[in-house]
């Protein structure tokens, strides 16, 4: 469903500047791939807060509320401890902060694997509490039945194959996938299975490039790469990685800014001015009435 917004920002900095736009729909995202090709690649970044969504929204087709928030926001060692409560809270914030992008919310580990029925209950809660356009879940052939179950009940699903972070304990780490023929064949089979099951798109993460290219050429749905290939139908990155907020980032990340340095420098200048008693200055004070 397309939605337009007109919000009053006179009383709160939390609301976006009023600029009603037609939000992209899931069918519109799917239709960007025609005849097996995508003329204009899809742009996707993660977002976890309303303000972050405001800044990224004009430049993106999709905003992903990723379970990577466990590491980026909460300092957790992996995505495994992330809860449904966390995803719903941050998903709602991102929807409130955006007008244009389709917002996709990750289903956290343990919220969908047990059965299609469990997945439906979790996905329905996410859609109701956040207002997002779709959910994302990890897994290929093993999740095909669940994807079909959700899709047939009106819940759009983005799948995720290749390196699947929620399975880090089973995979033994975050290394690139598909270096063996067995892995190559499995990832291709996973992609075909989830497309046949009704997923509207798929993220392929951390794979050797020929697999990403093969998936993009083989699947009728948009293939979004992260550590995959520029020949995918679109790209996604964790925004904080792309903005240079962390010292260590995966090999596949390109830093487009060094926000960590800017923030540190600003905090240092603030600290000096506070200690020197020059902040607040006259411009920041309220003078008495004359």
> What is the average pLDDT across 44-53?
98
pTM of the model: 0.89
Q: Is 106 annotated as belonging to a binding site? A: yes
Tell me the pLDDT band of 6, cut-offs 50, 70 and 90: very low
pLDDT at 280 over 90: yes
67 labelled ligand-binding = yes
Q: Provide the pLDDT for residue 184.
A: 87
* Residue 190 in marked binding region: no
Q: Tell me the average pLDDT across 126-152.
A: 97
- Dihedral over alpha carbons 213, 214, 219, 225 (to 10 degrees): -30
- The percent of residues above 90 in pLDDT, for the chain, comes to 81
pLDDT at 97 over 60: yes
Q: How many CB atoms lie within 10 A of CB 154?
A: 9
pLDDT in tens, 185-225: 999 999 999 999 999 999 999 999 999 999 999 999 999 99
Query: Who contacts 52 (Cβ-Cβ below 8 Å, separation ≥6)?
Result: 94, 97, 239
Look up the CATH number of domain 26-276: 3.20.20.60
Residue 68 annotated as binding?
Answer: yes
CB-CB neighbours of 256 under 10 Å: 12
- Active-site amino acid positions: 205
Is 289 a known ligand-binding residue?
Answer: no
Q: How many CB atoms lie within 10 A of CB 153?
A: 11
Please give the residue that has the higher pLDDT: either 133 or 168. 133
How confident is residue 118, by pLDDT bands cut at 50, 70 and 90? very high
Instruction: Domain ranges for the chain, please list them.
Output: 26-276
Residues ≥6 apart with Cβ < 8 Å to 40: 32
């Amino acid at each position: 469903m397309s939605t337009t917004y007109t919000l009053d920002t006179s009383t709160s900095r939390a609301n976006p500047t009023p600029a009603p736009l037609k939000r992209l729909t899931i069918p519109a995202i799917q239709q960007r791939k025609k005849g097996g090709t995508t003329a204009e690649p899809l742009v996707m970044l993660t977002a976890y807060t309303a303000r972050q969504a405001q800044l990224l929204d004009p430049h993106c087709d999709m905003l992903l509320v990723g379970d990577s928030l466990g590491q980026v926001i909460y300092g957790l060692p992996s995505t495994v401890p992330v809860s449904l409560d966390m995803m719903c809270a941050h998903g709602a914030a991102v929807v409130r902060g955006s007008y244009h992008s389709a917002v996709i919310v990750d289903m956290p580990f343990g919220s969908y694997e047990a059965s299609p029925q469990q997945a439906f209950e979790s996905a329905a809660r996410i859609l109701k509490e956040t207002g997002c356009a779709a959910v994302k879940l990890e897994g290929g052939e093993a999740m095909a039945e669940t994807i079909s179950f959700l899709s047939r009940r009106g819940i759009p699903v983005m799948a995720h194959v290749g390196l699947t972070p929620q399975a880090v304990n089973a995979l033994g780490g975050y290394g690139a996938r598909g270096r063996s023929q067995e892995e190559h064949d499995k990832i291709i089979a996973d992609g075909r299975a989830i497309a046949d099951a009704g997923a509207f798109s798929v993220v392929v993460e951390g794979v050797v490039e020929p697999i990403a290219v093969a998936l993009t050429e083989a699947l009728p749905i948009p293939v979004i790469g992260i550590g995959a290939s520029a020949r995918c139908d679109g790209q996604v990155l964790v925004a904080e990685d792309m903005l240079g907020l962390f010292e260590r980032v995966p090999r596949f990340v390109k830093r487009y800014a060094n926000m960590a340095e800017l923030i540190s420098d600003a905090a240092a200048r603030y600290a000096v001015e506070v200690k020197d008693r020059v902040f607040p200055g006259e411009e920041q004070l309220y003078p008495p009435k004359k």
